[in-house]
Structure 1
Amino acid sequence: MIDVRNPQDGFAALRARISALGDPVGDDRGADGEPLTVGEWALLIDDIVEHPDQNTEALWNVASPEEDDREYDAIFIGGGAAGRFGSAFLKARGGRQLTIDAWPFLGGSCPHQACVPHHLFSECARELDLAKHMQGKLWYPEFDASKASILEIVKLFRAGRGMPHAIMNWQSKEQLGMEYILNAAATVIDEHTVEVDGRRFQAKNLVLCTGARTDFPAEISGLDRKGVYDFASLIEELDEEPTRCVIIGGSKVALEYGSFFQATGCQTTILTRSPLLRTASLHHVDEGLRDYVIDMMVDRGIEIVEGAQTLDVLGDDRVTGVRYRDANGEIVEVETDFVFVGTGERPDLRMYEPLGLKIDDRGFVVADATMRTSVPNVYAVGDLLGPPMEMFKARKCGVTAARNIMGEHHEFDFSEYPDFFHTTYEVTWCGLSEAEARTEYPNVIKIQMPPDDADPESFALPAAEGSMLYAFTRPILSGWLKLLVDADSRKIVGAHHVGYGAKDAFQYIDYLIRRPEGFTIDQMADLNELFLNPEHFIQLSRLRAGQMSLVSL
């Protein structure tokens, strides 16, 4: 056990151990007797992650009986987004919590293997895409694909990921006052008891927050060969530069990582059984948005095979190809040295078998809107509940559980939300698709750029930061947008955008249009745009808001 809360030596021995690992970033060292700094935390976490077999001691930040002798209101099993935010909220409301995680850090897979590297990769994809498009123009040199290395970008992420972990460990202890035990797996005994690091803890409630992992299809043979990766193993295990990529699956992860691989110059094929962007886990995807996204992926050279049933990953020890049955029933083989699995995620619930939880037919935990499961005093949150597998849902589920544990009845409905993903673009939407809107409302108008009757190759809207060079060199690449309005009530019912920089706006547009009173085209027009604004919705609404009887633009 490593006590990071009240070590008997006043942190001297622990600080000496960390100092032996090297110098913290910015020489961020604590004084004698003071808790670990962020820089020292980063060194400690990196050492444990890089040498797990040599660092098996649990990290304890648990209050002594003299500090707090109350019974725990909740034990949070898992310290990712749901567990950390739920713990912080419960602590802020005066409760006592204990958070347990098998990793040596809080924050979960997002900063370690998932959303943070995904955003790094997407930023690289955007930069590489522009460099390829602009090669030989202005100051841009000819594009050299040999210098765009997937492996080097992965190594860049690996080298820097310790700092976000360190910030969360430090913040959770020093600013949020949380108690936690890290680098130690929890064993669930019953609905009130958890064992960790050889000691049993009891609480009034358990909150299950262990997330989900890639669902590797059992019917596809050869997924255990070297050269097969998912989002997590790509970070941990990639050791050679891929030259040809096949992606199995049509999830958002498949589109995002496929666009990144293609942007580096690694020819990529996506094999998907279902049509892209029409899966059950994605809702309100507009057909116009879908068409533009797929057309632009194909324009970048990605091969998309819909209706494909992947059969085998071929090779001996290492991957040499993938075999699939196409939509016509023909068997096709594709040569590759790199397979990426993007078939969605499922939780591993074996550790919760002693609880006897009710599980749905998809393999997710059944819980109500308060996050209560079928077992009294046991809550489940985040990815354990199924799609959407999104950060906002995980965090708010954790907070919802904490609020109910502390006596406040609170429900969280995550059936409606703004959504996004990346290709080389930022793709964002909220509200209804055009088809859904026309089914629900008799009189729908749309504001769309480029309009349906315009030639997109010569129509440079939308254009703003991030797309200006495309707009002036090949306008069709500058983006696409659509705003949907119920003309009778004048309320906005859907918004869709492909481009750059509009994601922040959609967080607020979604809130506004879902208010009971809604958000009208007139109210949108009355906002003050920071021109050139990426989504263009304000000024385009203003061009139509003067009409008593609205028509499309």
Structure 2
Amino acid sequence: MEHAIETGVAILGGGPGGYTAAFRAADLGLDVCLIEQGGRLGGVCLNVGCIPSKTLLHAVAAIEEARAAAAFGLRFDGLAIDIEALRAHKAKIVGQLAGGLDGLAKARKITRLTGRGRFADGRTLVVDGPAGTTRVRFNQAVIATGSRPAPLTAAPRDPRIWDSTEALALPLVPPRLLIVGGGIIGLEMAQVYHALGAAITIVESEPQIIPAADRDVVQPLFLHVKNRYQIRTGTRVAAMTALAEGIEVGLTGATEATEVFDAVLVAVGRRPNTGGLGLEALGLAADGRGFLAVDGQLRTAVPHIFSIGDVTGEPMLAHKAVHQGKVAAEAIAGRSSVFAPAAIPSVAYTSPEVAWVGLTEREAEQRGLACVKGKFPWGASGRALTAGAGIGVSKALFDAASGRLLGAGICGSNAGELIHEATLALETGATAETIARTVHAHPTLAETFAGAAEAACGSSTDLLPARPRKRT
């Protein structure tokens, strides 16, 4: 059965960017139809990404804290792990948040369609769903279809070879787990499965784990986990064969070996979902990586078609999509909003966490920028030591001429929360002196960022006297 509806704004995809765009557009008085192929809103982030992974990471952090509490004179004997209860708790959190989104959409009187949509022409979407086919006539549309895990060419089809979605379902705890990819997803899943009892091997093709961040920012994490996991950088998977006893993997590069694992997690990045959308009917084409080009208001080359989130390029992060969704909705409503952040923070929710924003030192060098660097080791932080979190570093990079902050990186407990002071400082053009002279409460972890600024200014009294500044 085929139905037809008309709407002012059609939004294709109900993830963080899509539902945010829908809610903001409705709040601005626009008639909105939100199309999501899954059974509920939230996209990858809520259903099979950010939220379930952070739920599991919080649980395993409690396990690790209990095991480490002996250093404080505390012992928790008989620690038991109920995997089924952990799965149920994860599902409860996801369901609670998804239900909240349903309520917000209903309160705004947003039309909801479940199904996969494709453009039939410049003003029509065809949505195939469980209730049949619906033709949606629109004035303006937003493409917010997100991304999917990138496959590994060498991997055969086998239930013991997982992507991130399958790993988050906790199908089992394998005795030997290989994780292909030492980025954020790979390291977060390593922490979960190691705490649950798996022996972890990580293979990363780049020279370091979390290649997007500076090596010295990642180093405290590496030193913390190198004796827990087998970490093989500069190494690739050359071959993979499914055997009865496990998955045989051939490794090449810095490590040359053939080993058998009980399960393999492929975490080598994500790919935008721009295929099969009928872009040709719009006269649009994705680039070689599958991304859609947009302007500052998130318009594509077709002025009444907008695109937000992962399909617009790196970084492929939920918080970027949320802000883009608001800008796109406001632009559709005739406002002059523009998406032009000074920087977008990234966070690895590992233990310790790693967070960074703005330029890395490597990027500054590539651009030929003269910089002053300040670093504060967490071993000199009273709050970090009292919390058993002395492994870490806060780093800030400043322009040598103006003193303005260019980038920052933090490795340590709650780095994902601490990085936002640096993000705001970037947005407002704060200098090293401004940050150093801002009074931070003592003792706090936030002091370490001020300490990095003081180190760059040469005014730190918590570290040895600074040597003459070195420009990088």
TM (norm. structure 2) is: 0.86
In the other structure, the counterpart of 1:85 is 20
Mapping for residues 9-158 of structure 1, pairs under 5 Å: 72-135=7-70, 138-141=73-76, 147-148=80-81, 153-158=86-91
1:243/1:337 contact within 8 Å kept: yes
- Relative contact order: is structure 1 or structure 2 higher (C-alpha 8 Å, sep ≥ 6)? 2
1:445/1:550 contact within 8 Å kept: no
Letter in 1 for 2:290: G
**How many Å apart are 1:326 and its aligned residue?**
2.2
In the other structure, the counterpart of 2:463 is none
Question: Bigger radius of gyration, 1 or 2?
Answer: 1
The one-character-per-residue Cα deviations of 1:263-309 (angstroms, maximum 9, x if unpaired) are: 33311111122233465xx3xx222112222222203x111112222
In the other structure, the counterpart of 1:11 is none
Distance 1:435 1:378, change over 3 A: closer
Whole-angstrom CA distance in 1 between matches of 2:377 and 2:297 = 41
Mapping for residues 236-247 of structure 1, pairs under 5 Å: 236=169, 238-247=170-179
**How many Å apart are 1:521 and its aligned residue?**
2.8
**How many Å apart are 1:528 and its aligned residue?**
3.3
Distance 1:491 1:373, change over 3 A: closer
Question: More displaced, 530-539 or 94-103?
Answer: 530-539
Whole-angstrom CA distance in 1 between matches of 2:342 and 2:285 = 20
Whole-angstrom CA distance in 2 between matches of 1:493 and 1:414 = 13
Structure 1 unaligned residues grouped into runs of 5+: 2-57, 63-70, 451-459
1:462 aligns with 2:381: yes
Distance 1:322 1:468, change over 3 A: farther
Residue 163 of structure 1 aligns to a residue whose secondary structure is: helix
**How many Å apart are 1:414 and its aligned residue?**
5.8
In the other structure, the counterpart of 1:511 is 424
In the other structure, the counterpart of 1:322 is 248
Whole-angstrom CA distance in 2 between matches of 1:547 and 1:207 = 50
In the other structure, the counterpart of 2:402 is 489
Aligned with 1:393 (options 303, 311, 320): 320
Letter in 2 for 1:333: T
**Aligned residues: percent identity?**
23
Aligned with 2:110 (options 179, 183, 205): 179
Aligned with 2:196 (options 250, 264, 267): 264
**How many Å apart are 1:203 and its aligned residue?**
0.6
Aligned with 2:301 (options 374, 380, 390): 374
**How many Å apart are 1:381 and its aligned residue?**
1.1
Whole-angstrom CA distance in 1 between matches of 2:206 and 2:82 = 30
Aligned with 2:372 (options 422, 427, 444): 444
In the other structure, the counterpart of 1:221 is 155
Whole-angstrom CA distance in 2 between matches of 1:543 and 1:381 = 39
1:230/1:341 contact within 8 Å kept: yes
Residue 204 of structure 1 aligns to a residue whose secondary structure is: strand
**How many Å apart are 1:384 and its aligned residue?**
1.0
Whole-angstrom CA distance in 2 between matches of 1:381 and 1:523 = 35
Aligned with 1:530 (options 415, 435, 441): 441
Distance 1:329 1:544, change over 3 A: closer
**How many Å apart are 1:469 and its aligned residue?**
4.7
**How many Å apart are 1:159 and its aligned residue?**
4.0
**How many Å apart are 1:228 and its aligned residue?**
1.7
Whole-angstrom CA distance in 1 between matches of 2:332 and 2:407 = 36
Structure 2 unaligned residues grouped into runs of 5+: 461-465
Letter in 1 for 2:251: R
**How many Å apart are 1:115 and its aligned residue?**
0.2
Letter in 2 for 1:312: A
Aligned with 1:384 (options 303, 308, 311): 311
What RMSD, in angstroms, separates the aligned Cα atoms of the two structures? Answer: 3.2
Distance 1:545 1:294, change over 3 A: closer
Whole-angstrom CA distance in 2 between matches of 1:95 and 1:373 = 20
TM (norm. structure 1) is: 0.74
Question: More displaced, 433-442 or 487-496?
Answer: 433-442
1:252 aligns with 2:184: yes
**How many Å apart are 1:182 and its aligned residue?**
4.2
Distance 1:387 1:441, change over 3 A: closer
Whole-angstrom CA distance in 2 between matches of 1:141 and 1:303 = 28
Question: More displaced, 540-549 or 92-101?
Answer: 540-549
**How many Å apart are 1:119 and its aligned residue?**
1.1
Mapping for residues 333-372 of structure 1, pairs under 5 Å: 333-353=258-278, 354-372=281-299
Aligned with 1:200 (options 110, 115, 135): 135
